[in-house]
Amino acid sequence: MAILIDKYTRVLVQGITGRDGSFHTRQMLDYGTSVVAGVTPGKKGQSLEGVPVFNTVQEAVHETGANCSIIFVPPRFAADAVLEAADARVPLIICITEGVPVQDMIPVYDYVRKQGCRLIGPNCPGLISPGAAKVGIMPGHIHTPGRIGVISRSGTLTYELVYQLTRAGLGQSSCVGIGGDPIIGTKFIDLLELFEADSDTDAVVLLGEIGGNDEETAAEYIAKNMKKPVVSFISGRTAPPGKRMGHAGAIISGSSGTAEAKIEALNAAGVPVGETPPQVVELLMERLKA
């Protein structure tokens, strides 16, 4: 079992004929993901590797039964692309696009939830259920099927941690990159709940970073609701206050959002925090043996 996506997920790609959309569509197909449709306005009738292209998401869903959309469009069009997918009631929407204006995302966040859909991202690497499907840009070959859930605000940090897990013989049930922007569709606690309910996940790794208070909120949730072991890593320990480090949401404001505050909150919730990805794996193995 996996969370959110599996071998039965039917994926449509918004922006399939663009450079990034076409490249990653091929990568997803090579991994075995069921990509059933693409959408690029004005290019209906074309195809990519046998995947038919439609003018609208509504059309694509009606013709193919797609139940998951991944968005590869420029930042100024990304919010509208999410809204179009939500209008078509696509249950799961993944927005890879980086640089989406925060003011564009404010109404999108509420509208997606009103439509009963789930949004992952924006500015995220997507998600993967190893051996079943990947919907995103992560390198599939470093993942291996197993029983460890991974949730991360970072893309490349996720890959490093997954590589270390795989090397240690710890496969993954699902790995989800939630994105590093100030406003994202799905947060840590949303996925912690899903992993806690997943009978094929034994433990969870939570990869956070400076900025915001999502990790502190997750710590409160873990203390009250999680029976499965959780270990963590927080990036940005040496970041100076007031300076953005990588993601748009990774900025410390005064005493809020510091690595120290997040680590303290997680430790108080019984979540050990590693100083390096290899140490995170060691902590995880200790918790699994306990």
Domains of the chain, residue spans: 10-120, 138-289
Q: In what order do the strands lie in the sheet with 126-129?
A: 133-136, 126-129, 172-177, 145-152, 203-209, 230-235, 273-274
Give the tens place of pLDDT for each residue, 171-193.
999 999 999 899 999 999 999 99
**What pLDDT, on a 0 to 100 scale, did the predictor assign at position 44?**
97
Give the tens place of pLDDT for each residue, 54-104.
999 999 999 999 999 999 999 999 999 999 999 999 999 999 999 999 999
The reply to whether 10-120 and 138-289 are identical in fold is yes
Nearest to 12 by CA among 29, 35, 43: 35
Cβ-Cβ contacts under 8 Å for 16 (sequence gap 6 or more): 22, 25, 38, 39, 40, 48, 51, 53, 72
Helix (H) or strand (E) holding 86: helix 75-87
* Mean pLDDT across 129-152: 97
Give the chain's length.
Answer: 290
Q: How far apart are CA 181 and CA 83, in angstroms?
A: 18
Helix (H) or strand (E) holding 84: helix 75-87
Give the tens place of pLDDT for each residue, 122-139.
999 999 999 999 999 999
**What pLDDT, on a 0 to 100 scale, did the predictor assign at position 248?**
47
Would you name the residues annotated as active-site residues?
247
**What pLDDT, on a 0 to 100 scale, did the predictor assign at position 113?**
96
Give the tens place of pLDDT for each residue, 23-45.
999 999 999 999 999 999 999 99
Cβ-Cβ contacts under 8 Å for 73 (sequence gap 6 or more): 14, 15, 18, 21, 81, 97
Give the tens place of pLDDT for each residue, 196-211.
999 999 999 999 998 8
Confidence of residue 212 (pLDDT cuts 50, 70, 90): confident
| Token pair listed for 18 | 């663009």
Give the tens place of pLDDT for each residue, 229-276.
999 999 877 666 655 555 444 444 445 578 999 999 999 999 999 999
**What pLDDT, on a 0 to 100 scale, did the predictor assign at position 290?**
76
Q: Candidates 3.40.50.720, 3.40.50.2300, 3.10.20.600, 3.40.630.30; correct CATH number of 10-120?
A: 3.40.50.720
**Tell me, which fold does domain 138-289 have in CATH?**
Rossmann fold (3.40.50)
Q: What is the pTM assigned to this prediction?
A: 0.93
Cis peptide before 122 (omega within 30 of 0): yes
Nearest to 10 by CA among 51, 46, 44: 51
**pLDDT at residue 142 above 90?**
yes
Nearest to 188 by CA among 157, 156, 149, 159: 149
Identity of residue 142: I
**Is residue 123 within 8 Å of 156, Cβ to Cβ?**
no
Averaged pLDDT score across all residues of the chain = 93
**What pLDDT, on a 0 to 100 scale, did the predictor assign at position 249?**
47
**Is residue 146 within 8 Å of 118, Cβ to Cβ?**
no
**Is residue 277 within 8 Å of 233, Cβ to Cβ?**
yes
Cβ-Cβ contacts under 8 Å for 53 (sequence gap 6 or more): 16, 17, 37, 38, 39, 40, 43, 44, 45, 46, 47
**What pLDDT, on a 0 to 100 scale, did the predictor assign at position 1?**
62
Nearest to 212 by CA among 153, 274, 151: 153
Which of residues 30 and 157 earns the better pLDDT score? 30
